[in-house]
Amino acid sequence: MEFEPVIGLEVHAQLKTKSKIFAPESTEFGGSPNSHVSPICLGLPGVLPVLNKEVLNLAFKAAIALNCELHLRSRFARKNYFYPDLPKGYQISQYEEPFSTGGWVEIGTNGSTKRINLTRIHMEEDAGKLVHENHGNSSFVDLNRAGVPLVEIVSEPEIASAEEAVEYMKNIRSILRYIGVCDGNMEEGSLRCDANVSVRPKGSDKLGTKAEIKNVNSFRYVQKAIEYEIKRQIMAVENGEEIVQETRLFDSNKGVTFSMRSKEEAHDYRYFPDPDLLPVVMEENHIEELRRSLPELPDKKLARFKEEYKLPDYDAGVLTSTIEIADYFESCLKKHNNPKIVSNWIMTEVLRELKDDDDIDSFPISPDKLGELLNLIENGTISGKIAKEVFEDMLSSGKTAEEIVKEKGMTQISDQSELENIVSQILADNPDAIAKYKAGDQKLMGFFVGQVMKETQGKANPKVVNEILRKGLSD
Ligand code: ADP
Ligand code: MG
């Protein structure tokens, strides 16, 4: 019998606010343990949570960009459970009245697009972190993350493979980064998912029993964890075992998932509306404002770049991978109007120098300055090869291309008679090479061009040199 996997993801995305969802401490990553903690995060008696308004703005922006139905009125609920990383004894989340339901994310599977529907998005607070490493038999508790704002984006069980799951998550990450809602930094835990996996006989319309793999925090692990889990379940079913509904963890060293606990049901959590928090009421106007503030989203931009700039799929994909790179590209085009040339330079020279995609905003060579450099190639002032040297110099000195070219006397030599003189000298010095060339060793052309470049410190116009050499060698 053949089996097919069914996957639903619960993606947790940290909202990019300065302070926590109900308390004034910083959400910044990397503070010393328990340095961003207040009585509110600890749930000490007598404290009251106050909702951070920016959380609403960001959460609603996410829901708009993900095509969701928005609910003007929503409510926070307490999800009660005991765990050492949750000192209050409950997590503030949304349950019966989330701020958003429905919506979808499109993924491209072998050339066609597939829509993955969303069940809902809700706001919630993050829990703290248990630190087990390097402490012998003890575990330590760091509550810096407790109360960090999240949205949980829940998909319908419509994802059909590990690859689809990764693409789905990549697209969500890209959209959230575009709209400035989440930094998408998976190493720091800003984006992670719980992967729900089940298998069933191929073609069946009934869902099998699922296992939930908790807290998977890289695309590679999403891929590996789901692939392993599918294999494990198929093997179990084939051996006549029953799949138990449970929560599992992924061990990235061994590449396997293992059981953590049997799955709790919603009723185990004793959800109830949080009596310390008022219902959230949004105004239509305000939502319209948020809608208008959204930038062009990645899919649209990608299609436009291909259409408007006639860029190959690959280029358009790289250039729209972040909104910052896309903006850099388009600003550069305002100075230099050949899209493919600009694209080549960004994809090779610029992106090679960047450590993180985000850094392009502070890249020492502004788009204007890169455009000016490309203009110097186009109008024949410098060759493409010299331009790479100028680029390096611009990076370290911060000067403009024109300044560097002038100071270093790098202007390209295109003067016919000047180059003819140099070429004839080189031909006169290399009778052996000429003989070999004439006997059929065409590769020697490169040698002659190299000699001219050496003589002119790379400044000779390669096109002119080639013409002169070809003529000289055929005489
Ligand atoms: P729970 O109550 O266990 O949290 P939910 O119904 O809330 O389950 O679903 C949580 C996630 O699990 C959703 O993303 C959903 O699409 C997915 N899911 C539900 N049932 C299955 C299944 N049988 N196989 C795979 N994924 C599933
Ligand atoms: Mg659930």
pLDDT digits (tens, 9 = 90+) for 436-475: 998 888 888 999 999 998 988 888 888 889 999 988 888 7
Q: pLDDT at position 450, please? A: 92
The string over 430-453, giving b where at least 16 C-beta atoms fall within 10 Å of a residue's C-beta and e elsewhere, is beebbeebeeeeeebeeebbebbb
**What is the rounded distance in angstroms from the CA atom of residue 240 to the CA atom of residue 1?**
13
Cβ of residue 5 lying under 6 Å from some atom of ligand 1: no
The pLDDT score that the predictor gives to residue 382 is 87
CA of residue 6 to ligand 2 center, whole Å: 16
Pick the CATH number of 416-474 from 3.30.390.50, 1.10.10.410, 3.30.565.10, 3.40.50.1450: 1.10.10.410
Q: Which atom of ligand 1 is nearest to the CA of 198?
A: 24
pLDDT for position 336: 96
**At residue 174, does pLDDT exceed 90?**
yes
Q: Give me the pLDDT at residue 264, please.
A: 74
Name which of 334, 311, 460 is nearest 385 in CA terms. 460
pLDDT given at position 245: 94
- Identify the residue whose tokens are 């990645």: 298
Give per-residue pLDDT as tens, 48-76.
999 999 999 999 999 999 999 999 999 99
pLDDT of residue 40: 94
Alpha carbon of 144 to ligand 1 centroid (Å): 29
CA-wise closest residue to 250 among 224, 273, 269 = 224
Cα(210) to centroid of ligand 1, in Å?
Answer: 7
- For residues 19 and 25, give the distance between their C-alpha atoms in angstroms, rounded to a whole number: 5
Would you state the structure tokens that stand for residue 145, as one six-digit string?
């993350």
Does the C-beta of 210 come closer than 6 Å to ligand 1? yes
Q: What percentage of the chain reaches a pLDDT higher than 70?
A: 99
Best probe residue, ligand 1, of 164, 168, 210 (max atoms within 8 Å of C-beta): 210
Predicted pLDDT at 365: 95
| Cα of 196 from ligand 1 centre, angstroms | 6
Does the C-beta of 8 come closer than 6 Å to ligand 1? yes
Give the atom of ligand 1 at the shortest distance from the alpha carbon of 158: 16
Q: State in Å, rounded, how far the first CA of the chain is from the last one.
A: 76
Whether the predicted pLDDT of 358 surpasses 70: no
- Cα(182) to ligand 2 centroid in Å equals 22
Which pLDDT value is given to residue 48? 95
pLDDT of residue 361: 86
Beta bridge partners of 101: 69, 120
pLDDT confidence tier of residue 142, bands split at 50, 70 and 90: very high
Residue 357: pLDDT band (50, 70, 90) is low
For residue 276, give Cα distances in angstroms to 94, 221, 273, 467.
14, 38, 9, 82
* 356 band by pLDDT with thresholds 50, 70 and 90: low
Where residue 112 falls among pLDDT bands split at 50, 70, 90?
confident
Asked whether 266 lines ligand 1 (CB < 6 A), one says yes
Ligand 1 atom with minimal separation from the 154 CA: 14
Q: What are 254-272's pLDDT values in tens digits? A: 999 999 988 777 788 999 9
Is residue 7 in contact with ligand 1, taking CB distance under 6 Å? yes
Q: Dump pLDDT digits (tens) for 421-438.
A: 999 999 999 989 999 998
Q: What letter does residue 360 receive in the DSSP assignment?
A: G
Within the chain, which residue ranges are assigned CATH 1.10.10.410? 416-474
Q: What is the DSSP string of 226-284?
A: HHHHHHHHHHHHHTTPPPPPEEEEEETTTTEEEEEEEPPPGGGG--EE-TTSPPEE--H
397 pLDDT more than 70: yes
Cα-to-centroid distance, 322 and ligand 1 (Å): 31
H helices present in 43-145, as ranges: 53-65
Separation of 36 CA from ligand 2 center, angstroms? 28
Q: Any idea which ligand is nearest the CA of 200?
A: 1
**Which atom of ligand 1 is nearest the CA belonging to 157?**
16
Nearest atom in ligand 1 to 209's CA: 23
- Ligand 1 centroid–CA 213 distance in Å is 11
Q: Where is average pLDDT lowest: 114-118, 132-136, 172-176, 202-206? A: 132-136
